Amino acid sequence: MTVEKDLEYSRIDRSARQWLEYSGLACAAAVVLPLAAGQLLLAPVAGALAFAAVYKYPWYRRKRIAGDVERELPLTLRSIASSLAIGLPFEEALRHGGNGELGRQLKRVLRDVNLGASVPEALEEMAERVDSQQLAKAAAQLSAVYNGLGGPQSLKKQSDELVAIQRSALKEYSGKLAVYSLMFIALSAIVPALFQAYVLVGSTFMAQGLSPSDAFAISVVAFPAVDLGMLVFIRLKKPFFA
């Protein structure tokens, strides 16, 4: 997906060109400190990390918004189904359907309806505002119920299906987490220990040691940066609805 779509879904009112400029500025700012400290090797690494962090932020925010909606979706569908089952009007059921991000989206649906849009049109627009297939399917099912093509029971069934999908995703992530944990242990403990052994042996027996400033930069900056990168990687692998 392009950065334009990421910015649109993340509700950041900037063009792709502007965001690229911001990323470049972040890169330039991150390069200054290592250069000032004389760490020429760390400067491009810091710049690349800063550029990537800023440039990919809209993507992360897009996923975060979709995850917040998907987390609330099963309970909200069940709540709407219960409201319809006791005879509340469809719009009233939506009004009491959810809180948080999904609740705000439903309130916007009601606002669009009050401004003249039909309920199916407002639900379709809601699905287009959030990058979530689960929400798109739920919006289609809500439209079907509104048009009399399904009842509260169909919403409860879809709620159960969403719960099953989310449980499966969490189970898959839990299985991978053990491998990620071993990778993190290796990067945070074993690799630094091997590096220290290399420095000690090289400087003592082979006259191939690093300068004090290089050894300090690698130990205090590079290794923690790698550890932080690994933690970010693990977090991004976690389902966003969790």
Do 78 and 151 belong together in one domain?
Answer: yes
Taking the C-alpha atoms of residue 177 and residue 72, their distance in angstroms, rounded to an integer, is 24
Query: Residue 80: which domain range?
Result: 66-163
pLDDT given at position 40: 73
Last residue of a domain, one of 163, 179, 211: 163
Do 77 and 151 belong together in one domain?
Answer: yes
The token pair at 160 is: 């159960």
User: Cα-atom radius of gyration of the chain, to the nearest Å?
Assistant: 25
pLDDT given at position 48: 87
Q: Which long-range contacts (C-beta less than 8 Å, at least 24 apart) are formed by 137-143?
A: 138/73, 138/77, 138/162, 141/77, 142/80, 142/94, 143/119
pLDDT given at position 203: 62
Per-residue model confidence as pLDDT tens for the chain (242 residues): 688 889 999 889 999 999 999 999 999 998 888 788 777 777 888 888 899 999 999 999 999 999 999 999 999 999 999 999 998 999 999 988 778 899 999 999 999 999 999 999 999 999 999 999 999 999 999 999 998 888 889 999 999 999 999 999 999 998 899 899 988 888 888 888 888 777 777 666 555 556 666 677 777 777 888 888 888 888 888 888 87
Q: How far is CA 178 from the centre of its chain?
A: 21
For residue 186, being part of any structural domain is answered with: no
* CB of 81 closer than 8 Å to CB of 153: yes
Domain count, the chain: 2
pLDDT given at position 46: 83
Q: Strand locations in 90-151, DSSP E? A: none
pLDDT given at position 119: 92
pTM exceeding the 0.85 threshold for the entire prediction: no
pLDDT given at position 207: 57
For residue 150, being part of any structural domain is answered with: yes
Taking the C-alpha atoms of residue 116 and residue 28, their distance in angstroms, rounded to an integer, is 49
Do 74 and 104 belong together in one domain?
Answer: yes
pLDDT given at position 205: 59
The token pair at 200 is: 């000690």
Q: Any residues with CB less than 8 A from the CB of 141 and at least 6 apart, and which?
A: 77, 150, 154, 155, 158
Q: Rounded to 5 degrees, what angle do the CA atoms 120, 155, 69 make?
A: 75
Taking the C-alpha atoms of residue 230 and residue 222, their distance in angstroms, rounded to an integer, is 12
Number of neighbours of residue 241 by Cβ within 10 angstroms: 22
pLDDT given at position 209: 58
